[in-house]
Amino acid sequence: MAFLYLLVLLSKGKPSEPFELTARSALPMGAGLGSSAALSTSLALVFLLHFSHLSPTTTGRESTIPTADTEVIDKWAFLAEKVIHGNPSGIDNAVSTRGGAVAFKRKIEGKQEGGMEAIKSFTSIRFLITDSRIGRDTRSLVAGVNARLIQEPEVIVPLLEAIQQIADEAIRCLKDSEMERAVMIDRLQNLVSENHAHLAALGVSHPSLEEIIRIGADKPFELRTKLTGAGGGGCAVTLVPDDFSTETLQALMETLVQSSFAPYIARVGGSGVGFLSSTKADPEDGENRLKDGLVGTEIDELDRWALKTGRWSFA
């Protein structure tokens, strides 16, 4: 539906030849990792370029998507996210569009101003993301919390306020250049546990997520984990301290796999949305070769394959 929504609106009044679109993703779907936002952002950029709403400059050795164009892409990606989720926060499409890490606050009339803020130091922290392999419906989970908010405001409002306070404290820790690294990591670990406890109290955890948390907390690992995304399944994220050995991390991943979960080490703080601005392929058969490469490349090699195809422009 989001695909059709963007296609109809962005193609209106624009001449176009028939085209074929192939999409592949290394992100698990329905797991709380923003796969819908990644797709929405990609579709927004594709259609904005294809129907000539944007014409980014690609001259120079290092080409980037201008900030003004990035804002346009993000706006359309957010509209697609609304079609998919109903009332999304906007942070997933913001990160998919801009890259890096973003602190987000939803605007609440009379209580707080909304907005997004880039966090520069976030890339230096390791995380382990574990897919529970349990799908969930973000729209239904959010609707469930909203229903409880109406029925039990005296219970839900304090939980939501506590969650916001935890997020604010995490942002302060990440931005504090004078805080000792060990102190920051220790504080973040405590915040991870506190955050999950409040989310579980909201009713958005799941037995599979609790099992992932238990495995990570057991000896010899003793790590802190929380659900991510809407909960109800999907993924859990584990904070990995700097001094946590590679061997022990591998042992944790093997333990999770034995329990039928899918763990992988996160790479954070990368580039935002991008497009292939010039290709190394022969113009006569370049399109077919690119398509064959896209379809034939293994999922975990897609990023490496893409960067070898030519010069990319990123937000």
Catalytic residues: 36, 92
* Tokens coding 79: 């509209």
Burial 111-128 (b: 16+ CB within 10 A, else e): eeeeeeeeeeebeebbbb
User: CA geometry: angle at 78 spanning 74 and 82, to 5°?
Assistant: 175
Question: Helix, strand, or coil here: 244?
Answer: coil
Nearest residue to 74 via CA among 44, 110, 102? 44
* 36, 1 Cβ separation under 8 angstroms: no
Place of tokens 């000792």: 180
Q: Could you give the C-alpha distances from 277 to 65, 173, 216, in angstroms and in order?
A: 10, 38, 43
